Structure 1
Amino acid sequence: MGTPALLGGNDFVTDGGLETDLIFNRGLDLPHFAAFPLVEDASGRAVLQDYYLGYVEVARRAGAGLLLETPTWRANPDWGHRVGYDLRHLEHANRKAVQLLDELRSEQLIDGPVLVSGTVGPRGDGYVAGERGDPDEAAAYHAPQLAAFASAGADLATAYTLTGPEEAIGVVRAAREVGLPVAVSFTVETDGRLPDGTTLADAVAMVDAADGPDWFLVNCAHPLHLEPGLGHGAWLERIVGLRPNASTLTHAELDASEVLDEGDLDLLAASFDLLRARLPQLQVVGGCCGTDVRHVARLWGQ
């Protein structure tokens, strides 16, 4: 299986829980968890730039590459409509998000490689599995966002917090159609299974059998929740990235919480290190809900 060609032999720092950091640590109001409108004006872009620069420092200290991921997890038609964006304005925002990070990359922030990834979010909630999807329908749904990333010059796209393999298959198909490398990240519940009940091993196998992504990740789950789902087998070599939650709370508990659970840094780091030892191809490390630059730095031994 080997190292993904786009990553080469490099390890990559990526960011933490963008939306939770902006809401709870920086006091921003993000209706429907949508951060992408911030790219539209100078003050919003300044906030985002400051956010990403924290992870530049982590990468510099680690001597690693940097994977800059756009703030577009909610920039798809259903969620965009809820915050007042039609398809034309969504395309503009998605392109603008890539351009923002490309401008940041042009400042030659670190000695290592810097990649810009367009972030795709699930059509649904991200915490709750809906009805079994249709891959072709998912491909058509996500295609405009992926086309916007490709035309804006993104190096790849990454689909995060997917709850079932069908949507993942669709995202990969749409990305291949526009010639964009693509990674797929599932989330899991406390038993290590996807929210739709599929085992992680089966989900990886199903997507790979259709047309596999360049690599897989797991996000939005504490390492203690992911551990039961790993098991054994060559498929573990397909897991190249982890972006864990800070908290050990369930998705339902997190969804209902009105305060930020920053978790236990020692527990996060120790449980993450146990996972690292079981994932031979792990190269991309960042955080998800509740994490900020402190958590990601700790995952990198800083």
Structure 2
Amino acid sequence: MPPVLLLAVSLGILAVAAFASVALGARPLSLDTVWQALVNADPANGDHAVVLSRLPRTVSALLIGAALGLAGTALQGMTRNPLADPGIMGLNAGAAFAVVTAIYVFGVTSFTGYVWFALAGTALAALVVYAVASLGREGATPVKLALAGAALTAGLTSLLSAVLVSSQQTLNTFRFWQVGTVSGRGWDVLLPLIPFLAVGAAILLASGRALNGLSLGDDVARGLGQNVALSRGVMAVGVVLLCGAATAAAGPIAFLGLVIPHLVRGLAGPDYRWILVLSAVLAPVLLLVADVVGRLILPPGEVPVGIMTAVIGAPVFIAIIRRRKLAEL
């Protein structure tokens, strides 16, 4: 399928998923009621109020899904590692440990406080992983990056557990964030998020040509006149902004940044200029679908979206790797 047609189809699927997100939930609503609430809302109408209350949650899923899809795609392209993902590379663990530190040491409980710590934790984790993987003559190979990320995740998770065991108050605050959710995210959370996501997305969407060069190998990229170190550094800034802001808002959400780039690569081919755009469109689709399914399977309660993305994403990823060899990008 031509990439332009694939993009059009993806946008159509995204629109359907977004409409389903505001229409479906524990309280059943007719499609006409949902449409009227969106185009001509009556604040005194209880059904309209339910629809309007779901809008921030839907927008949260759109923004966070696009951020994690872009970040995962860029990470895989930068490292030429098919397993690169904010979770596997230690970025989520860095953000989580920084947020726990903010809660335990500084008593921070709001998103506007979380975001700065999450950004710092994500950036520090990225630096540590790259520094450790760079040791030795071969430098930061895909395998060493994955191993360094896994080791850092294990270490930070242990430290995080030690802090949580020693402080019941910190545990109570952190556990609702840790599972990964877009529930309860209002406009007060979304508005501070937008500048970080906008800058990070702009950096990565403009990096398609650089990622195409890196996909050929560092030596070939240098031969084509590309400054490899500068390219990776600029893209790393974009990844940190997207991962840090998204993780601060919704908690660590797995599999989006891992599954979607592989799916898009199989549909659209190896051109990262298209892979980035399509990942930014299809990753929110998976997040929205996971959120809607999580609301419907256990009414009137719900399963957090961080759990549902793993439940839905794991079989999809297994199916992808059974069809393709993903040893290297």
TM-score between the two structures when normalised by the length of structure 1? 0.30
Please state which structure has a larger fraction of its residues in helix: 2
Between structure 1 and structure 2, the one with the greater Rg is: 2
The higher relative CO (CA closer than 8 Å, separation ≥ 6) is in: 2
Please state which structure has a larger fraction of its residues in strand: 1
TM-score between the two structures when normalised by the length of structure 2? 0.28
